[in-house]
C-alpha cells in the first residue's frame, strides 16, 4: 500500500508541475483515445458519440499542445484554453445530443440512447396516465431505445427516487421535445453553471471542475446518450458550493433535490451535514437537515406510500441485484464478479459486501471526519468508489461520482473559505488541506 501511495503522490506531483496547457493537452489526448475506442466498438450504445467526439478531442489536443511553449499566463493562451472548453461543449455534447435525438425521432435503425432514457420516459408515461411510476411486478430492466421504442418497456423497473419522474413527463410533449435527455442536459448545464459562477475558487480550478463534469468523456458521453446521473451530480456540486459559502439552508435544499432523484447522492447528503457552518462559523446542522428534509421526505413519501412493496422492489432490491433479474448496470468489478461466480449465494454475498464496505467507510469516517465541504467531498468520493467496486450490480459509469467529487475537493480547497485559514477553527488553509489529502491517500 505504501508503494502505491508513494507512486500516486509522485504522479500527482508530476501532474501538478505541468502547465495548465500541458495538463489540458494530456487530458484531451486521453479523451481522444477513449473516444476512438468507443467509435470502433460498433456494437455499443456509445458508438455514435465516439464518432462525433474523436476529431474535436484530437483538435483540442493539438491546440493545447501548441500552447505549451508559450507563457502560460499570457491572456491569449488563457482565452484560447477557455475557448477550447466551450468548443468541446458544443462539439462533444450538444452536437451528438442533437443528432441522436433527431435520429431516434426519425426511427433510424440502431441504438441512439442508453436504456435509462426509455425507463424514465415510461415512468413519466405511467404518471401522466394516472398510475404509479413503480410497478408491482416489473419484468424488464429496460432496453436501448431504438426506433419505435416509445411504446415499449412499459413493464420496466424504475430504480430511481420520485424526483426523477418530472424529467419523464416531457415524453408527453410533441416531436423532439419529448426526449428526456433534453431536460436532463438543460438542468445539468444550468445548475452546474450557477454553482461554478457562485464558487469563488480560482478560475483554473473551476475550469477543471467544468471539464470533468461536462466536456471530458466523464460528462459528455453520458449527457449525449443518457445522462440521468449528471443533474444529480450538478446538484451535489451546488450543495457543496453553497456549504462552502456558508449557506446551510440553501445547501440543504440543493442536497435534498439531488437526494430525491437517486440514492447515489445520499452519502454526500449525510457527510455534508458535518461540514455545515453559518456565517459566524458555528455549526448549522439543524438548518441544513431541516432544509434537506423539506425536499426529500415529501418527495420520497409520494412514491413510497401508494405501494411500499413496489417501491422497495424497484428502488432497493433491483439495484442490489436481488429482484430476480439481471440489471443492465453490469461491469466486471468485485461485487459483480462474486455474485456471478456464486449465484446461489447472491443474498449472502450482497450482505457481506455491504458490511465490508460499511466497515471501511466507517473507519475512514472515524479517522478523517469531514469538517469542511472539501473534506466531505473527498470522503464521499472514496465511499462511492468503494461502493462501486463492491456493489453486486454496478458499472464503470458510476465511477464518474468519485471522479467528480475528488475534483470538487480540489476546487473547494482553493475557495476563499479555505484560503481564510483556520481563524474559526474549522476552515483549513490550502497547505493544511493538501497535507490531510496526502495522509488520506496514504491511508487508503
Are the CB atoms for 79 and 115 separated by under 8 Å?
A: no
139 is a domain residue? yes
Are the CB atoms for 161 and 261 separated by under 8 Å?
A: yes
Would you place residue 68 in the very low, low, confident or very high pLDDT band (cuts 50, 70, 90)?
confident
302 is a domain residue? no
405 is a domain residue? no
Q: What is the pLDDT of residue 422?
A: 42
Cell numbers for 5: 501511495
- pLDDT tens-digit map of 223-238: 999 889 999 999 999 9
Q: What is the pLDDT of residue 428?
A: 40
Top-confidence range, 145-149, 404-408, 411-415? 404-408
Q: What is the pLDDT of residue 414?
A: 81
229 is a domain residue? no
At residue 427, does pLDDT exceed 50?
Answer: no
158 is a domain residue? yes
For residue 120, give its domain range. Answer: 115-178
Q: What is the DSSP string of 177-232?
A: GG-THHHHHHHHHHHHHHHHHH--S-HHHHHHHHIIIIISHHHHHHHHH--THHHH
166 is a domain residue? yes
What's the start-to-end Cα distance of the chain, in Å? 8
Q: Residue 444, Cβ neighbours under 10 Å: how many?
A: 15
Top-confidence range, 12-21, 59-68, 171-180? 59-68
Total-model pTM:
0.87
User: What number is the average pLDDT over the span 297-310?
Assistant: 95
* 44 φ, ψ (degrees, to nearest 5): -85, 155
141 is a domain residue? yes
Give the distance from CA 8 to its chain's centroid: 23
**H/E stretch holding 51:** helix 47-66
- pLDDT tens-digit map of 354-375: 677 677 777 777 777 788 999 9
153 is a domain residue? yes
Give the distance from CA 234 to its chain's centroid: 8
- pLDDT tens-digit map of 123-163: 999 999 999 999 988 877 766 555 445 555 567 889 999 99
**Total domain count, the chain:** 1
Amino acid at each position: 500500500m505504501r508503494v502505491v501511495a508513494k507512486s500516486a503522490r509522485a504522479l500527482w506531483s508530476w501532474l501538478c508541475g505541468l502547465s495548465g496547457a500541458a495538463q489540458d493537452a494530456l487530458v484531451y489526448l486521453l479523451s481522444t483515445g477513449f473516444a476512438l475506442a468507443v467509435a470502433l466498438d460498433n456494437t455499443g450504445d456509445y458508438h455514435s458519440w465516439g464518432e462525433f467526439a474523436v476529431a474535436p478531442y484530437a483538435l483540442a489536443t493539438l491546440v493545447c499542445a501548441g500552447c505549451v511553449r508559450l507563457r502560460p499566463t499570457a491572456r491569449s493562451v488563457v482565452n484560447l484554453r477557455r475557448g477550447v472548453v466551450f468548443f468541446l461543449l458544443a462539439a462533444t455534447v450538444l452536437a451528438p445530443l442533437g443528432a441522436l435525438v433527431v435520429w431516434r425521432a426519425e426511427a433510424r435503425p440502431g441504438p441512439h440512447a442508453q436504456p435509462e432514457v426509455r425507463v424514465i420516459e415510461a415512468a413519466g408515461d405511467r404518471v401522466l396516465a394516472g398510475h404509479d411510476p413503480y410497478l408491482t411486478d416489473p419484468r424488464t430492466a429496460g432496453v436501448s431505445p431504438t426506433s419505435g421504442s416509445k411504446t415499449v418497456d412499459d413493464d420496466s423497473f424504475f430504480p430511481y427516487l420520485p424526483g426523477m419522474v418530472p424529467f419523464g413527463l416531457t415524453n408527453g410533449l410533441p416531436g423532439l421535445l419529448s426526449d428526456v435527455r433534453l431536460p436532463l442536459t438543460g438542468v445539468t448545464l444550468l445548475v452546474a453553471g450557477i454553482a461554478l459562477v457562485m464558487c469563488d475558487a480560482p478560475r483554473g480550478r473551476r475550469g477543471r471542475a467544468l471539464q470533468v463534469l461536462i466536456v471530458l468523456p466523464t460528462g459528455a458521453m453520458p449527457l449525449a446518450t443518457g445522462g440521468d446521473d449528471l443533474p444529480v451530480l450538478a446538484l451535489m456540486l451546488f450543495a457543496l458550493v453553497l456549504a462552502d459559502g456558508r449557506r446551510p439552508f440553501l445547501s440543504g435544499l440543493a442536497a435534498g433535490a439531488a437526494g430525491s432523484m437517486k440514492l447515489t447522492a445520499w452519502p454526500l447528503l449525510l457527510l455534508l451535514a458535518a461540514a455545515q457552518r453559518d456565517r459566524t462559523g458555528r455549526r448549522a446542522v439543524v438548518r441544513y437537515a431541516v432544509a434537506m428534509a423539506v425536499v426529500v421526505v415529501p418527495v420520497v413519501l409520494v412514491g413510497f406510500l401508494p405501494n411500499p412493496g413496489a417501491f422497495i422492489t424497484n428502488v432497493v432490491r433491483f439495484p442490489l441485484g436481488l429482484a430476480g433479474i439481471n440489471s443492465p448496470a453490469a461491469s466486471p468489478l468485485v461485487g459483480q464478479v462474486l455474485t456471478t461466480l456464486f449465484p446461489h449465494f447472491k443474498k449472502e454475498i450482497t450482505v457481506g459486501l455491504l458490511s465490508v464496505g460499511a466497515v471501511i467507510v466507517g473507519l475512514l469516517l472515524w479517522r478523517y471526519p469531514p469538517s469542511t465541504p472539501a473534506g466531505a467531498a473527498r470522503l464521499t468520493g472514496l465511499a462511492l468508489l468503494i461502493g462501486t467496486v463492491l456493489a453486486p450490480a454496478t458499472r464503470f459509469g458510476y465511477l464518474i461520482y468519485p471522479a467528480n467529487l475528488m475534483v470538487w475537493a480540489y476546487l473547494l480547497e482553493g475557495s476563499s473559505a479555505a484560503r481564510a485559514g483556520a481563524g474559526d477553527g474549522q476552515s483549513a488553509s490550502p497547505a493544511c488541506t493538501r497535507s490531510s489529502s496526502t495522509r488520506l491517500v496514504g491511508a487508503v
